[in-house]
Amino acid sequence: AAYGIAGERLAVVPNWADTWADGPAGGRGEGRAPKPNGLHVVHAGSLGRAHDTSGVLEAAARLAAEVPAIHFTFAGGGSARHGFDEAVRAHGLADTITCHPWLEDAELVRLIRSADVALAMLDRRAAGMALPCKAHLALALERPVLFCGPPGTGLADLLRDAGAGLWLPSGDGQALAAALARLAGDPGERRRLAAGAASIAADHGRAAGVERFAAAVRDTLAGPAADALPLLPTAPAILARRGIGPCRP
């Protein structure tokens, strides 16, 4: 609306997880052995300028002293990852935060399924410009999400409405530590959030995402302005021009 575009001319297609994450979670996979009052928190994906990690470091330092059975696992890369790894070592948090590089798809899925809660972050300055796709992957794998980011985002609203996770303001380490300590001591709340994530898991897989995108295209082609659209070559025709044959399984 701010750009003078009528709402009926816009179609919003939410993010989705890729093919290898489709399907029910089944077993929880290989993860850390559960401990009394323990919690496994997983951040799977990149760390960059759009991610505020200050709250995580503060929370980890608090929890290392107060609830040492809570453990973080970070897997991925990104422009801010090297600095984050150095900060973990500098603050003496290596026993609380395990850092892995990018993992193969199957390993990544096993890691996420081992989580009690998946962590997603967004710097408030990146609101409206970025969205943590890792949250949709976690939801597709039926894992609840703890989102640390600005208020009023679509992800925060989704987690609240589905009961599939929690929202906290970005950079608030004290609030993050308190929320994780509460989850660690409340298995009933963890089960409730996991059930909420499972209830919307199918909405975040590739099949659902592609169908929403295809529906938006079909609606556009069937609309009153369809006659004004240029005739575009089909995908097979484009591939043939480039000397690429049909795809085979």
Split into its structural domains, the chain has a count of 1
In a domain, 175, yes or no: yes
Whole-number pLDDT of residue 36? 54
Rounded CA separation 237/243 (Å)? 10
Cβ-contact 39, 70 below 8 angstroms: yes
Parent domain of 64? 27-204
In a domain, 95, yes or no: yes
Cβ-contact 76, 45 below 8 angstroms: yes
Strand partners, 74: 43, 99
pTM for this model (two decimals): 0.78
Splitting the chain (249 residues) into consecutive groups of 10 residues, what average pLDDT does each group show? Answer: 73 72 44 63 91 93 94 95 96 96 91 95 77 86 94 87 94 96 95 93 82 85 60 49 45
Find the CATH number of the domain harbouring 127. 3.40.50.2000
Whole-number pLDDT of residue 37? 64
Whole-number pLDDT of residue 23? 46
In a domain, 147, yes or no: yes
In a domain, 132, yes or no: yes
Half-sphere exposure of 132 (CA within 13 A, CB side): 31
In a domain, 221, yes or no: no
In a domain, 13, yes or no: no
In a domain, 225, yes or no: no
In a domain, 170, yes or no: yes
